[in-house]
A and B are shown apart, each in its own frame.
Chain A
């Protein structure tokens, strides 16, 4: 059972995100009414290409987190289970299958529901569950599905480029619109700028006291994921960075007297984001996230062709860190750079991909004497969450950290 939900934010700029998100979903419904093509997408589908081709992208994992943050996920998941999806299936997929196949059995969907899709786009490299989920949706909705792949190899840009061109060909066929490279180039430049600002923000978070913690960033990362390549997004991060700089100049931290610094590794529990603030009661701050931070400044463009350039830069991003050894090194670097005293790792039972790697990351940290706390709760389905149990573990972890000092 959960008695609280959203995280308490430190920055005024973060408070702008709910309105941006609401307006984004309203726009998708409006676009659909106007006859624009709507694509239901998985994460990592290049939004700038869809935007450039006047296709409205709706990212389903994000919508699933919206449902979860409004504490409606359990009802949606239960509906998904009633239509045949096991509790072991990804919570996001279960929720959305419940929404599609049992609309009368789920609560009123946030933001007026999802815009009706014309086709589906899924990436093949994040996890296997997504492929099965999107294939099932394609079958029940009877609409086309395009699977987008990308190389995991450092020299795989050519393959990724072919895949991007295959995506463009699919979109041209679906929309009847010819692809215009100039439409992408402009958005790509904005996306690069935004990415660099985000990198700056994460660098600024190394300050002591930490000016902005994960309680803000789990929300503030949203525009970079779903409005990327837009001026709206770029402007947001410029304001955000300015506010962070101002806090540092004035010595304002998340807590008045910072006693310990933590990292959150993994997907948070969207139905109880106030858990991130919980350690603040004891002078702690979750200063950085393991999976969501921008790791480096973007390289200058290497090719005039925007699709070739996108393949080069996305191959670089995706292949670093690559594999568990790189992930461990990356985590340890972050622990050092952000002066982290301990790491909280979420183990989401229905996200089997991350569950396995979290086990290895936790062991690597403990082997090096870095205290960790593993919390096993689903990212979406709050039926797996016991606030009392989780807070007892958090309390004991804080006691462990404070006993070291």
Chain B
């Protein structure tokens, strides 16, 4: 039984292919202006990784993410909220709380023993607490995105950043740079600000161990370490946190075929 899940997010598009409950391949590509085209490219890349499969071999394809409704080859759609719960629970069966920190939004999710969605809370109408916030700040500071988490942990001082709004935060950071403040100290403040924001979501949904972080920001050690300290829990981190939504979608597709 071969199935695929495809997750069209605001920053990246991901595809995962499963065969008999094993991950065969996956892909992560930037989402361009055309979501349908991104879906096709992500799927093609994941298929290429298998070396022998084509789209026709997929028994069922489920699309998720903000672009889920415009994936031309999907048989069905499921929200990214359910998919992240399902995917995280498959990777770590003890997981009951999932924090998905993506490019555009941030979701705190509770699930049951089988990965079924119990409750969720999302950030609203604002890029604060999302990957986009950190991307913009990394650009302003002319630092590679993948380095900022580590650098934030080398701070001597945590500069308080008042605004978690991406636009106003950008001005605040530019002003701090002009004042000659250390980049590590500014980054520490930015990470603390983002943490306050996401921790509020987690508190709202209720943190029940075990706890996993998914989405691109799970690769940021600065956020993960601070979150672990605040919650007093060790976070379970997937080997590739960006594909958890696509994986969940492929698992739902697998269930569909088994029904």
Contacts and interface: CB of A to CB of B under 8 A. Distances in A.
Contacts of B125: 376, 384, 386, 389
A366 B110 CA distance: 13
Closest A-B pairs by Cβ, 10 of them: A396-B81, A403-B116, A396-B79, A395-B79, A399-B82, A400-B117, A376-B124, A403-B117, A399-B117, A392-B79
Contacts of A396: 79, 81-82, 117, 120
A388 interface: yes
A366 B122 CA distance: 16
Contact of B78 (A366, A371, A393, A399): A399
Interface in B29-74: 66
Taking each of A388, A393, A399, which has the highest tally of chain B beta carbons within 10 Å of its own beta carbon?
A: A399
Contacts of B77: 395
Nearest to A373: B120
Contact of A400 (B66, B80, B118, B124): B118
A393 B81 CA distance: 9
A195 B125 CA distance: 40
B94 interface: no
10 contacts: A371-B119, A376-B125, A389-B124, A396-B81, A396-B82, A396-B117, A399-B79, A399-B81, A400-B117, A403-B117
Nearest to A347: B124
Contacts of A395: 77, 79
Nearest to A398: B79
Contact of A393 (B116, B117, B118, B122): B122
A376 B66 CA distance: 18
A400 B118 CA distance: 6
A28 B46 CA distance: 66
B252 to A, nearest CB: 10
A386 B79 CA distance: 16
Assign chain B's interface to a size class: 10 to 19
Given A386-B125, A403-B117, A403-B118, 5 more contacts: A371-B119, A396-B117, A399-B79, A400-B118, A400-B120
Nearest to B81: A396
Interface string B81-93: 1100000000000
Contacts of B118: 400, 403
A371 B78 CA distance: 19
A381 to B, nearest CB: 13
Contacts of B119: 366, 371, 400
Q: Is the interface of A mostly helix, strand, loop or mixed?
A: helix
Q: Is the interface of B mostly helix, strand, loop or mixed?
A: mixed
A114 B82 CA distance: 48
Assign chain A's interface to a size class: 10 to 19
A369 to B, nearest CB: 10
Contacts of A384: 125
B203 to A, nearest CB: 12
A23 to B, nearest CB: 39
Taking each of B77, B78, B81, which has the highest tally of chain A beta carbons within 10 Å of its own beta carbon?
A: B81
A386 B66 CA distance: 12
B144 to A, nearest CB: 30
A164 B82 CA distance: 55
Interface in B98-152: 116-120, 122, 124-125
A44 B78 CA distance: 44
Contacts of B66: 388, 392
Nearest to B206: A366
A102 B218 CA distance: 50
Contacts of B117: 396, 399-400, 403
A392 B105 CA distance: 12
A399 B120 CA distance: 11
A74 to B, nearest CB: 15
A389 B122 CA distance: 10
A376 B123 CA distance: 10
A376 B117 CA distance: 21
Contacts of B124: 376, 389
Nearest to B111: A403
Interface in A263-286: none
B185 to A, nearest CB: 34
Contacts of A366: 119
A372 B214 CA distance: 24
A181 to B, nearest CB: 52
Nearest to A400: B117
Nearest to A391: B69
A403 B116 CA distance: 6
Interface in A355-405: 366, 371, 376, 384, 386, 388-389, 392-393, 395-396, 399-400, 403
Contacts of A389: 124-125
A360 to B, nearest CB: 14
Interface string A28-61: 0000000000000000000000000000000000
A371 B79 CA distance: 17
A392 B117 CA distance: 14
Contacts of A392: 66, 79-81
A371 B120 CA distance: 10
A386 B123 CA distance: 13
Nearest to B121: A374
A376 B118 CA distance: 21
A272 to B, nearest CB: 16
A142 to B, nearest CB: 39
A22 B77 CA distance: 41
B117 to A, nearest CB: 5
A184 to B, nearest CB: 47
Nearest to A385: B125
B119 to A, nearest CB: 7
B83 to A, nearest CB: 10
Interface in B230-255: none
